[in-house]
Structure 1
């Protein structure tokens, strides 16, 4: 039992003063407030009795907050923590979905870009081959035009030679006629001479006839050759028309290819712009996620502090419960002693 020097009222008053000063009432502080009087074994049960009678005051003094406020803060903290975890999970899910969509769009853009590059390479190769073919055809046409011009010059030469031969034949025929006329005038006196001249003229005429026949044959051959050249010229003209048509077709195809290439370049530019926008959106999502994580870290720190304080409060509550049980036991002992005391005569 407590000594008569230190009573419960003294301990209660000291504890109240300590609480009012903002200090937690402990055995040492109670003893110091009482001026160093009283033993710890005497003060301890009295302090436990006071604490069991004033649990809210003890919690306020030790935690700096009322017990109801501690419970309310604990509930708010748990709700904030649950909301923060839910928001982080939702943000991570949205971020993962956006990242997957961005990766898929980027992969599709790369595939389309590779396909466009392949089509562009094929069109460039076709354009090069068409240009080479057009160049070869142009050289062929040029050579054929040169050959045709040469054949035309040769034809003109043959026609001029044929004209010269015809003039020569006409001149010889005229000379023959003149010789015949002269031979008639001098028939009597120059019969022998006429015969000689006639024979010579006939020989020359036969020779000229042979040359004329040869020239006619050569003329026929040249005409046949000319016909072949004209036919060849027609074929060359047809080939030239076909080449011109092929050139126009190739130019149209080249124009279409260039248009397709420009369209592909425009699509590629649009895809790059979309990719940059998606990257910016991704960066914004990353920044928001970092902010959420920072907020979650702050919340987690606050939760740790609150959990620590809650643990301390639970520990103190356990101590209070233990002290209450001890007080009940002491009360039971005191009641028993009081009953015995009253029962004495």
Structure 2
């Protein structure tokens, strides 16, 4: 695009200045003299018009001058075409670079998000493992306490069975003693009745044998004394048996209290078993959460690796476009350098 206010007089003045300095007034030289303003096509048009206006007053140009002009025009067209291609390539590379930068920013944001999620998943995994270990230790302690209660319950049940057997044995002894006492009482009663009948019969029938009967009565009195002593002994045994029965009743009461304590222990055992079941369920839930956290961690790692691969692909594409841009710039710069370094033909004449 020509700058605003560029006129043919400005181009003529710049050309005359270059000619006065002994330099060839090419399009690039005139543009530099104008301060790198104005399009080359406009400068070339003004130079051509100035040459056509001054052509009638000058002598016919030589073939080398015409060739030089043709070369300059070709160089101007090539330069303009190269500038257009470079500008188009530059715009395309800028657009691609902008898209790559946006993609890179998005990839960096996704990478940061995945990193934060990965860190959160790692913290959650550590917390889940700590809770898992705590639950496992508590379950082990509950299991040890439960085993101790089971051992204690088994010992109490064994002692209760022993006491129950001892009580049954004492009851059997008491029943035997009561049966023996009853048998003695019935036997003594029968004996007394029998003796009384015999005594009456003998008193009525055998008055003469009174002395013998008295002696027999004394003998019977001795036997009765012995029987009474035996009865006293049996009564004492019965008293002891009754006292043992009372002790056994008290022991049975204590055993009932122990049974009540055992029932409470059993209830406590059931409560501990329920808590142990809850802890087991919590442990299973912790294992489930731990597996889910490990799965989320693996997924986050896969996404992070995928983001790294996409970022590497974006960087490779960006480097490829930069390389293409450099390759497009290099031939244009070489052409400019060759055109500027080549001396114009006919200047030495």
TM-score (norm 1): 0.72
Going from structure 1 to structure 2, the CA distance change for 1:163 and 1:310 (only over 3 Å counts) comes to farther
Deviation at 1:240, TM superposition (A): 0.9
1:231-250 alignment runs, 5 A limit: 231-250=250-269
Deviation at 1:219, TM superposition (A): 0.5
Q: Which moved more, 1:204-213 or 1:250-259?
A: 250-259
Once residues 279 and 87 of structure 2 are traced to their aligned partners in structure 1, the CA distance between those partners, rounded to angstroms, is: 75
1:163 aligns with 2:186: no
Q: Which moved more, 1:136-145 or 1:182-191?
A: 182-191
Residue in 2 that maps onto 1:39:
none
Secondary structure (helix, strand or coil) at the match of 2:215 reads helix
Once residues 242 and 126 of structure 1 are traced to their aligned partners in structure 2, the CA distance between those partners, rounded to angstroms, is: 17
Q: Which moved more, 1:139-148 or 1:186-195?
A: 186-195
Once residues 224 and 280 of structure 1 are traced to their aligned partners in structure 2, the CA distance between those partners, rounded to angstroms, is: 82
Residue in 2 that maps onto 1:287:
306
Going from structure 1 to structure 2, the CA distance change for 1:8 and 1:198 (only over 3 Å counts) comes to farther
1:303-322 alignment runs, 5 A limit: 303-322=322-341
1:1-345 alignment runs, 5 A limit: 7=64, 9-10=66-67, 49=72, 53-57=76-80, 59=82, 66-182=85-201, 184-185=203-204, 188-323=207-342
Deviation at 1:271, TM superposition (A): 3.8
Deviation readout 1:160-216 (Å, 9 max, x if unpaired): 111112222223322443354345436741132122111101100110110010111
Stretches of 4+ moved more than 6 A in 1? none
Q: Is the 8 A contact 1:59 1:66 kept in 2?
A: yes
Deviation readout 1:211-250 (Å, 9 max, x if unpaired): 0101111110110011101110111111112101211221
Deviation readout 1:106-128 (Å, 9 max, x if unpaired): 11111111122112222222222
Going from structure 1 to structure 2, the CA distance change for 1:285 and 1:246 (only over 3 Å counts) comes to same
Q: Is the 8 A contact 1:99 1:282 kept in 2?
A: yes
Q: Which has the higher contact order (CA 8 A, sep 6+)?
A: 2
Once residues 110 and 65 of structure 2 are traced to their aligned partners in structure 1, the CA distance between those partners, rounded to angstroms, is: 59
Q: Is the 8 A contact 2:160 2:255 kept in 1?
A: yes
Deviation at 1:276, TM superposition (A): 1.7
TM-score (norm 2): 0.72
Going from structure 1 to structure 2, the CA distance change for 1:140 and 1:244 (only over 3 Å counts) comes to same
Once residues 259 and 159 of structure 1 are traced to their aligned partners in structure 2, the CA distance between those partners, rounded to angstroms, is: 58
Unaligned runs of 5+ in 2: 1-60
Residue in 2 that maps onto 1:17:
none
Once residues 84 and 258 of structure 1 are traced to their aligned partners in structure 2, the CA distance between those partners, rounded to angstroms, is: 53
Instruction: Count matched residues.
Output: 289
Going from structure 1 to structure 2, the CA distance change for 1:8 and 1:96 (only over 3 Å counts) comes to farther
Deviation at 1:84, TM superposition (A): 4.0
Going from structure 1 to structure 2, the CA distance change for 1:164 and 1:297 (only over 3 Å counts) comes to same
Deviation at 1:56, TM superposition (A): 2.4
